[in-house]
Structure formats: structure tokens, C-alpha cells
Structure 1
Amino acid sequence: MVPVQDLVAIVVAHDSAHALPDCLAALRAEGVPTIVVDNASRDGSADLAERLGARVIRNARNEGYGRANNIGVRAAAGAAHVLIVNPDLILRPGAVAALRAAAAAYPDAGLYAPRIVEPDGRFFFQAQSFLAPYLQNPSGRRDPPAGDACAPFLSGACLMVERALFLDLGGFDAAIFLFYEDDDLCRRVADAGRALVHVHGAEALHGRGRSSAPERGRVFRARWHIAWSQAYVARKYGLPDPSFGTFLTNGLKAILALLVLRRAGWERYGGAAAGALAALRGSSALAREGLDGDVR
């Protein structure tokens, strides 16, 4: 018989040994058992997570962010809720209690997220999402809430959700390797008639971009997936496909970067152009990562 737990955290790691100790210590201090899904790290992340008391699932290859979270959520049998947490996110004392209180106060909501504080001290709040047909904000005006509020989008850096709801909705879209998987999940939760709630009293510190250690080609790869995933989710919901414009704009910038020998510019713009071109050609993100046809 699997014991019933009210909450289990899922942390996806990929070369995240530099960030895991603080992340897992905060979860442990909040009394939350944790499953670390390791995406074939080369820096000892899996062994480190085990030494720090987490249950570890070792993937033989990098499955991507959403797909690895799906594996972790399925493994959290018996949990009423799961807390999806990036390895570079640190929950502040009392954050979990505030999230639990929000779930009790707003039981018809589908997703709950803490107030995420960025490295510069500002807190993250996205006032609109191009996938959201609800909570329209045509001017894009950014008025951060001063308390709990419904939102058009909640960051995948930290989300609390009923495990049953997450699984009933199919989890994160397994066709996406990286980026826009949280936008897509938010859209499906809202389409199911469930609210997305920003929980102001729950605070978390986010070291944006520090989930994985730096490596050569990382920027090109990230920009490739941003462009591809944006095109994918746009098509999925019948929105205008941005691929051609992305390819044209970034392709020209990539050529200019090559001409002036700016490697950083080439990686940034060349990656975006290549991802958009792959989308135009009908190629998949999973094929690029050697995962084509493998559903997770």
C-alpha cells in the first residue's frame, strides 16, 4: 500500500550539481519529500541528490524538461499534489504552507505558483500570454499584483498542481523538448475551466538560467528550441505561425554576426533561424534530440 502524501516535489536536473544543494535544502526545510529526475547529467547530479536525501530517477538520456517532469509525476504515486520545481529555485520559509493554504482557499483552481523573485530583486509576473484567450490585457500593461490573483500564465519554474489533474490532462506535451511547455499546460488547465492562481504570500528565489551548467553550443540549442516550440504551440491552437518571420529576421542577423565575427550573435540568431526553419520543414524537436517517436 502506497502511503498518501499531500505533496511531493519534482525536480528535473541536467548538470545541476551547482544548484541542487540549495534547492533541495529548502524543500527539506519545508518538509516536502522530493523526487529528482536526472536527465543524464555528467557532473554527478544524481549521486549528489541521493546523498542529499532525494529519491532519484536516472534517465539514460536527456529527455527534456517537460518529459522528465512527466516521468517524475507518474512516479509520485499516492501524492495528492505535486510541486514542480526548477533546480535553480529556492523556496523561502513558509512558501509551501502558503501554497497549501491557497489550495484550500481556492479548491476549484488548477495551478498555483509562488511569487518568484528574480536575481535583480524584482518578482516575475507575466501580464499576458499569447496562448491565453482569457484575462485579456491588450495593452500589455504590467501591474504586478499585491496579493493573490488569477493570471494568464504561471512560470514552470515552480508550479503546484493536483497530480490527478496533471495526469488527466496528459501532463506536459511530450512533443516539446524545451520551452513553451508551461504556456501549453496553462492553456489546457484554463480550457478545462480551472483558474491559474498567483500566490503572493509564497515566495521563491529564482536564479534564472542557472538550472544547468554552461556548455559550448548551449545558446544555439536553446534558441533553436525556443523558435521551434513557439511555432509548435501556435499551430496547436490555430494561431498565426511565426516561423517565417522568425527565420527571416534572425537569419539576417545571423549573417551579419558572422560577417563581423561575433560568435555570441551567431549562436543567438543562428539558433533561432535554424529552429524556425526546422518548424517550416515539419521537422520535430524530438528528432533533433534523438527522441523521435518516443512518447513520455
Structure 2
Amino acid sequence: MPSLVAIVVAHDSADALPACLAALAAEHVPAIVVDNASRDASVAIAEASGAEVLRNARNEGYGRANNIGVRAAAQATRILILNPDVVLAPGAADALLAAAKAYPEAGLFAPRLVEPDGRVFYQPRSLLSPYLPNHKGARGLPEGDACAPFLSGACLMMARDLFLALGGFDEEIFLFYEDDDLCRRIADTGRALVHVHAAEALHGRGRSSAPEPGRVFRTRWHQAWSRAYVSRKYGLPGPSPGMLAVNAPKAALAALTLRRPLIERYAGSAAGALAAMRGQTALAREGLVAGAVNPGSDR
């Protein structure tokens, strides 16, 4: 019975998957690839690598697809959730498992994420952190294992039973802030979030899916909506009016420049904030539910 099984959610991830899956195989970590209706060779690549492949008929979003994968990993003791653009360095899986043994009361573990330019990704605060708040976001990189206020959903390891007991990722979220929400719920149980310094993973950052028209707008829409959703969930001030006030004028100005990336960026943020204020849901936008209104609008 494998002690650790990796869950990789793919959506048009053919360029990133080979390196990700090869690194997992080198670490002797079996993989389940949950394919979110890819239109490229993602499924064929995953199958050729020997991974178990679960095919979704439509894009279910990041959290929902991961939940499907974790439920399918019935024989795993621990699950490693990672993006297709994450490549484990040699020994990373063993280092994560060693940390879990060294810190048995902790709930979540993450490797040291190294970006393409060599910088280490470490987020020193989280909107939802109930402890280690670091409100000013002072950034001091850990020099060893450390408790953290947030661990990136790009690569996370935890006990499968705990993940399922907590309900997995919040399935109302299509994309973004599902990792902040999971970190908060784990911290609320009294368990620590541990940055494991000896475990290294290379993160392509943004290479999980192929670029496509409208992707920037969609991304910014979900960032704005999800921030409003989790803020409301935990009783924090609603950010949507401020986000709308800032981004709507910028979108109008960007339209004068005819620069599509800027237009999509600001218009997407404004539209996501407005949708949250009106009580619309992310799942309804993506056609995943029949309803279109969330009972708790962000006003």
C-alpha cells in the first residue's frame, strides 16, 4: 500500500506534465492525474507515464478536481497535491515524509518552492491566517523548517484522513484562495502548517495550463470573487466595493490603450468584484450549477 500518492489536476497541461510526472516517478510516488476536460494531449501523456487518469467531462475547477482525486486515492495514507508545473527535486518526497514523522502534530507540509529565476516563493502572510498574522507582510525567508501562516496550494502534503475529515477543498470555490481556506481550517484545529526546508520543488508558476484568449480576464474574475467569498466566510470586511472602485476606472483607461492584457486584467477584477456584490457564484459562472445567486452577497 503506497504511503504517499500524488494528485495532479491537469487542464491543457501537456507542456508541463512530462517533467512533473517524471519527477514523481523518480521519487517512487504514484500519481493520479485528474484531467479537467483538456483539449490537448494531457490525458495521453499522463497515461503514457503510467499515472492513473480520471477524466472530467468539464472543467470542475482546481479544488473540486483535487477532491475527486483524493477520494480516489483510497489506499494512500498521505496525499501530495501539486500543480502540473511543479517538479520535485531528488529526495523531496522523502524529506516531506520525514518532516511528517518529526512533527506528528502538524497538519500540513509544503516544500521550499523555487521559481524559474531562482527565487524562493514564500508568502509571509495570509488574508485568513488566525495566527502568525504578520499584518505588514515582512518577508524573512526561513533558514530551516518553520511554522508558516500560509502554504501554497502549488504543492502540499497532508494526511488523507484529515483532508477528508475537513471536507477537502471548499467546492464553492472554482479557483484561487482554496489553499488559504484549507490552511485556515487546518490551523483552526490546532495543527501547524510546516515549511519543510530540505524538500525542494521547482515551480514553473503559471505554466500549468496553456495560454488562451480571455484567460487573464477569467483569472482575475476568480481572484476577485474568491477573495470576497472567503472574506465573507470568515467574517472579514468585504473587499469588493474597494476592488470595484479601483479597477473599473483602470479598465476604462486601459481600453483607450487597446492593450488587451491590461483591459482583461482590470476588467476581470472589476467584474469579479461586482459579481460578488450581486451575490452571483463562481460555479454558476462556470456552468457547474443551475443557480446564479449566492445567499450572502458581498456589500
Q: What residue identity is the alignment partner of 1:78?
A: Q
Distance 1:85 1:152, change over 3 A: same
Which is further off, 179-188 or 284-293? 284-293
Q: Which residue of 2 aligns with 1:180?
A: 177
Q: Which residue of 1 aligns with 2:122?
A: 125
Q: CA RMSD, aligned part only?
A: 0.9
Q: Select which of 249, 265, 290 maps to 2:287.
A: 290
TM-score (norm 2): 0.96
Distance 1:146 1:22, change over 3 A: same
Q: Select which of 221, 227, 230 maps to 1:230.
A: 227
Any unmatched runs of 5+ in structure 1?
none
Query: Contact conserved, 1:284 with 1:292, CA < 8 A, in 2?
Result: no
Query: Contact conserved, 1:112 with 1:199, CA < 8 A, in 2?
Result: yes
Q: Which residue of 1 aligns with 2:294?
A: none
**SS of corresponding position for 1:5:** coil
Q: Which residue of 1 aligns with 2:57?
A: 60
Q: Which residue of 2 aligns with 1:274?
A: 271
Query: Contact conserved, 2:130 with 2:187, CA < 8 A, in 1?
Result: no
Alpha-carbon shift at residue 173 of structure 1 (Å): 0.2
CA distance in 1, matches of 2:177, 2:135: 21
Q: Which residue of 2 aligns with 1:7?
A: 4
Moved over 3 A (4+): none
Query: Contact conserved, 1:16 with 1:87, CA < 8 A, in 2?
Result: yes
Is the counterpart of residue 149 in structure 1 residue 159 in structure 2?
A: no
CA distance in 2, matches of 1:25, 1:280: 44
After TM superposition, the structure 1 = structure 2 runs for residues 73-112 of structure 1, keeping only pairs within 5 Å, are: 73-112=70-109
CA distance in 2, matches of 1:285, 1:137: 29
CA distance in 2, matches of 1:18, 1:176: 26
Alpha-carbon shift at residue 138 of structure 1 (Å): 3.1
CA distance in 1, matches of 2:246, 2:34: 37
Alpha-carbon shift at residue 293 of structure 1 (Å): 5.9
TM-score (norm 1): 0.97
**SS of corresponding position for 2:3:** strand
Alpha-carbon shift at residue 140 of structure 1 (Å): 1.7
After TM superposition, the structure 1 = structure 2 runs for residues 164-175 of structure 1, keeping only pairs within 5 Å, are: 164-175=161-172
Percent identity between matched residues is 73
Alpha-carbon shift at residue 44 of structure 1 (Å): 1.7
Query: Contact conserved, 1:220 with 1:272, CA < 8 A, in 2?
Result: yes
Is the counterpart of residue 27 in structure 1 residue 33 in structure 2?
A: no
Query: Contact conserved, 2:6 with 2:81, CA < 8 A, in 1?
Result: yes
Q: Which residue of 1 aligns with 2:186?
A: 189
